[in-house]
Amino acid sequence: MTVEFQVAAAKTRHGLILGSLLIVIGLGVLVFGGGAVESHVATGGLALLLGLGVAAYVLWTGRRAGPQLRVDETGVWFKDWGLRVPWRDIEDAYQSGTRLQPFVTLRIRDPEAFLAGLGAEEAKALLGNRLWKAPELKIPNTAVEASQREVLDAVLAGLNTKERGVSHEAAS
pLDDT tens per residue, range 102-158 = 999 999 999 999 999 998 999 999 999 999 999 999 999 888 888 899 999 999 999
| CA–CA separation, 138 and 130 (whole Å) | 9
Q: What is the pLDDT of residue 6?
A: 83
Domain ranges of the chain: 7-63, 69-171
d(CA 13, CA 5): 17
pLDDT band at 65 (very low <50, low <70, confident <90, very high): low
Q: What is the pTM of this model?
A: 0.69
Flag whether pLDDT at 171 surpasses 60: no
User: How many Å separate Cα 64 from the centre of its chain?
Assistant: 13
User: CA triplet 98, 102, 105: central angle to 5 degrees?
Assistant: 110
State residue 69's pLDDT score: 92
Q: What are phi and psi of 58, to 5 degrees?
A: -65, -40
Q: Is the pLDDT assigned to residue 172 strictly greater than 50?
A: no
Task: Tell me 8's DSSP state.
Answer: P
The predicted-structure confidence for 11-48, as pLDDT tens digits, reads as follows 788 889 999 999 999 999 988 887 777 888 899 999 99
